[in-house]
Amino acid sequence: MHHHDDHDVKIFDGLTRHNAKPVSSFDVSDIERELEAARESGKTDIARRLGRQLAMSLHEQKGLHRFGADDCDESTVGIQRKLLLAFCIDNCIDQAGLGSVLEGIVINSFYENLSRLDPALYNDIRQSGALSFYFLAGRRGGDSERHIANTFAMLCGYDGNHIFEEYGEALYSKFTATVAAKIKNTGL
């Protein structure tokens, strides 16, 4: 029997950007210019406000994470809905083409506000590994929406359950469309 040493495996902790470039590849003067332009245009404030609004959508009693929920929803499923929404928020920010400075401001504001609004959820995001599963599912190729939906069902404890896979796909589609529209409507 072989034992694999996995000490070097990094699980996404909710704070490490999955597409971050090595620090040595950044040109600091370019970043400084990008930051100064964002400050002068007021976009840094808009980015911070967007991060706060996205965190609130995870925290509010009737927030976006409640889409598709019913009164008898299990707590595991409710938490997984929030974790899927957190993934969608992170992924949409990454895909929005905001540039590294504004993307960093939005994502930092999101996690800073979430840590204040809902410390338990913030810790779940950092410690559960769910975001890592979603990022891996999204990168498998082919039908990434279906892979993410299957991952949702698995994380809810319903691996292979067609109903939960469809539910996960509906949530992923709704969350992604809503978050992407919210980002677009800010004008960033």
Cα–Cα distance measured from residue 69 to residue 49, given in angstroms and rounded to the nearest whole number: 27
Count CA within 13 A, CB hemisphere, residue 135: 21
Take residue 8 and report the two structure tokens written for it.
């070097």
- One-letter amino acid of 7: H
Is 2 a member of any domain? Answer: no
Task: Flag whether the pTM goes above 0.85.
Answer: no
Q: Would you state the pLDDT for residue 5?
A: 45
The residue among 114, 136, 111 whose CA lies nearest residue 14 is: 111
Q: Is residue 46 part of a domain?
A: yes
Structural domains counted in the chain: 1
Domain assignment present for residue 18? The answer is: no
Enclosing domain of residue 147 = 26-185
CA distance 172 to 88: 7
Radius of gyration of the chain (CA): 17
Does residue 73 fall inside a structural domain? yes
Query: Which residues have C-beta within 8 Å of that of residue 79, sequence separation ≥ 6?
Result: 121, 124
Domain assignment of residue 130, yes or no:
yes
Tens-binned pLDDT, residue by residue, of the chain (188 aa): 444 444 444 445 545 455 555 555 556 777 788 788 778 888 999 999 999 999 998 887 665 555 555 555 558 888 899 999 999 999 999 999 998 899 999 999 999 999 999 999 999 999 989 999 999 999 988 899 999 999 999 999 999 999 999 999 999 999 999 999 999 999 88
Burial of 74 (0-12, 13-18, 19+ CB in 10 A): exposed
Q: Is residue 90 part of a domain?
A: yes
**Rounded CA gap, 81 and 172, in Å?**
9
